[in-house]
Amino acid sequence: MALEKLNGVELPAAADMHVHLRDGDMTKLVIPTIRRGGVNTVFVMPNLVPPITTVHHALDYKERLQALEPNVTFLMSLYLHPNISPETVIEAKQKGVTGIKSYPHGVTTHSDHGVMSYEPFFPVFAEMERQDMVLNLHGELPPSVGEDVTVLNAEEAFLPTLLDLHKRFPKLRIILEHCTSAAALKAVQSCGPTVAATITAHHLFMIVDDWAGDPHCFCKPVAKLPSDRRALLKAVVSGDSKFFFGTDSAPHPATSKRGEKFAAGVFTQPHAVGLVIDALEMGIETGVLTADDVTEEKLANFLSHYGRSFYKVADERNERIILSKPAKPIEEILKTEDGKIEVVPFRRGRMSWDAIWK
């Protein structure tokens, strides 16, 4: 095992800065998997239908999540939408909503209400900058007829928009969510300290060949080329505070993965921390990284400290997890008690590292 040295190592509990927890029975199924994955703080992107665009709804949703799991800190976001005005931003800040997430129109799950153009939102962004709120960007350019934009280059094609927003609102904290390409990492690096990016566990494993043919590996943005995967693995152990953990765990009922047009989203929550260690091991085994690249300090920073510090949230729970080498495989399926909803986890049946609560 390439990272045997991590067995028994203690880390601060992870902060997962990009999760989808859904509603109703699906939420009840998913919520206990947050702590199972070694995580005690999550940034929630509700992505519900209809989208959450008011502070009242966001807080109501948060209360429901908190009632189901009192031992997790839930940081909340609104869905960027014409309903949101500068006044909404002021109210959101006052009442403890952390960020606003932008989904470009039509690029991912539930993005029918997404953004067509950023310009109408400039007054909202200006107020967010004044209020020191976080703008979370799903960074993909929607496909448009006649243009050479596909799932493969939609992220790269979005990067000029990221740079433009940063230039217009230099103090606005912006996160390029779930970045998947070497080009995106480079663009984020070229920005000032107010711009950061989340990296998922699944994008450390996958390339195009993995999702072409397997709906459980299909998510947006899609995994890209081996060179992009190499760049992501290196970013995790780079020690650069611009890059931190956000799983983008996105559970979908197995039925909507079996349909003719399957839903985008990969479910990684139950093994959030373990999968990162698994991926780094794969990186070592394939010669992308060395075991020396992976240190306790870099893991603690990527998984816990950098995200909290970008979001300016204290580690109020002050809990620790212990890494334990793979002892059992990832479950094939998770089911609600009544068996009505089934969700298939990423890398089902494979061995994965465990995060045990101290």
Interface with ligand NCD (CB under 6 A): 20, 47, 108-109, 138, 219-220, 248, 250, 264-265
The site for Zn ion, by CB under 5 A, has a size of 1
> Shortest approach of ligand NCD to residue 103 CB, angstroms?
7
Give CA–CA dist 303/11, Å, rounded: 9
Pick between residue 118 and residue 262 the one whose CB is nearest to ligand NCD: 262
> Shortest approach of ligand NCD to residue 64 CB, angstroms?
18
> Nearest to Zn ion by Cβ — which residue?
248
A 10 A CB-CB count for 8 gives: 10
Does position 248 bind Zn ion by CB under 5 A?
yes
> Shortest approach of ligand NCD to residue 18 CB, angstroms?
7
**Cα 347–Cα 228–Cα 275 angle in degrees, nearest 5:** 25
| Binding partner of residue 108 among ligand NCD, Zn ion, none, CB cut-off 5 to 8 Å per kind | ligand NCD
> Shortest approach of Zn ion to residue 246 CB, angstroms?
8
Of residues 178, 191, 260, the one with CA closest to residue 224: 178
Spatial neighbors of 40 by CB under 8 A, at least 6 apart, are 13, 14, 15, 34, 71, 72, 73, 317, 319
Angle between helices 226-236 and 272-285 (to 10 degrees): 120
Whether 14 and 245 have beta carbons less than 8 Å apart is answered as: yes
The enclosing H or E element of 92 equals helix 86-94
Pick between residue 6 and residue 232 the one whose CB is nearest to ligand NCD: 232
* Piece in contact with Zn ion (CB under 5 A), picked from 190-198, 245-253, 293-301, 306-314: 245-253
End-to-end CA distance of the chain: give it in Å, rounded: 23
Q: Which of residues 49-78 bind Zn ion (CB under 5 A)?
A: none
Give CA–CA dist 229/207, Å, rounded: 7
* Piece in contact with Zn ion (CB under 5 A), picked from 2-10, 243-251, 314-322, 333-341: 243-251
> Shortest approach of Zn ion to residue 177 CB, angstroms?
6
| Binding partner of residue 109 among ligand NCD, Zn ion, none, CB cut-off 5 to 8 Å per kind | ligand NCD
| φ/ψ (deg, to 5) at 109 | -55, 130
Pick between residue 129 and residue 177 the one whose CB is nearest to ligand NCD: 177
Which residues contribute to the site for Zn ion (CB under 5 A)?
248
